[in-house]
Structures are given as C-alpha cells and as structure tokens.
Amino acid sequence: MGGLTKKELRTEKDLTPKQKMFVEIMVQDHGQITQAEALKRAGYDCKDINSARSTASQLLNRRINPHVAKYYDKRFEQEVKKYESDNLRRYKRFERLADKAEKKDQFAAAINAEYRSGQLAGAFIDRKEVRVTGLEGMSREELENKLKELSEKIDGHNAKTIEVQSEDTALIKKG
C-alpha cells in the first residue's frame, strides 16, 4: 500500500500496530486505565502526560481518526457481547445448581444458589449500614456512663490521677 493521502477514507486495515494495540488495551482494561496510560503501554513516545493525553484523545476522535474510533467501537461491542453471554452462562449454571440441590434436599445450598442468581440479575443489592455517634449524639446519662467506663479502663491499667499544683501558683497565692 503506497501510503494514504489525508483525504482518503481509512479502514480497519489501515490501522498501525500501535493504534491496534492502543485500542486493544483500552478495551481490555476499560474503566481501569486512562487513555494516556493505554497510549504509553501501546508503545507511543510522549514527552509528558499532557502530550500523551492529547495524542490519545486525537486517536479516539471521530473527526481526526475515524478508522481508529470505529475499530474501538467494534472491539468494545464484541467485549460487551462476550460479557453478557458470560453472565447468561453463569445465571443458567446457578439455576442448574439450585435445581440439583433441591432434588437432593439440600435446601440451604438451593437457597444460596437462587440468591446468587438473583444477585447476578440485579435483584438483590448488598447494603451495609454504618452508624457513627459522637459525643454530640449522646444523652447526659450516656456521657456519664462512657466517662465511668473510660475511668475504669484507666484505673485498670494502674494509672492514677493526681492533682498537681505548681510552686509558682502557691507563691502567687501567698503574695
């Protein structure tokens, strides 16, 4: 191929090895890597992070490099389909496990498999509640109990609370 002029329409076949590698890295590590990091891993030389960001952005820009953007869309769609079919496979496996467990009267395992298939389908969401209560949220009685508890802990470690008065204070009072 004798090289393309700027106005010729480029296709997937016109991708350079670095462009192809960049797209593959972007698809494989989607959501875990920045465009600039993918660009560096694909073998592009960039002076600094800003030039890497700029080059990566231009590569995926549909006006500047439509053939790269189109290849990215195609690869991303393939990856999404693979993921969806993988989830369907997992869901069916959980169903089979639940049925087998139920037939063997292993109800705990059947319930667990059913629950996991529901989680996979998005029917169940794990929620954890964390409550933090500072001193502001305590009643007077709760504060007194907390002080007593802390005092007992201190005394339990053979710590003694003593009152100290400096000599200067005593002299000032006499003077």
What is the domain partition of the chain in residue ranges?
12-71
Asked if pLDDT for residue 33 goes beyond 50, the answer is yes
- From residue 3, alpha-carbon distances to 14, 20, 143 in Å are 9, 18, 80
Q: Which range, of 23-32, 54-63, 64-73, 114-123, averages the lowest pLDDT? A: 114-123
pLDDT bin (cut points 50, 70, 90) of residue 1 is very low
**So what's the pLDDT on residue 110?**
86
pLDDT score at 175:
55
Closest CA relative to residue 55, chosen from 69, 77, 36, 34: 36
DSSP 55-95: HHHHHT-TTT-HHHHHHHHHHHHHHHHHHHHHHHHHHHHHH
What residue has token string 């090895």? 17
pTM score of the predicted model: 0.49
pLDDT-derived band at 12 (thresholds 50, 70, 90) equals confident
Residue 58 has a pLDDT of: 94
Exposed, middle or buried, 76 (CB in 10 Å: 0-12/13-18/19+)? middle
- 65 closest CA partner among 2, 23, 108: 23
Please state which CATH class domain 12-71 belongs to. mainly alpha
Cα 49 to the center of its chain, rounded Å? 23
Please check the confidence at residue 140 and state whether its pLDDT lies above 70: yes
Residue 121 · residue 98 · CB < 8 Å: no
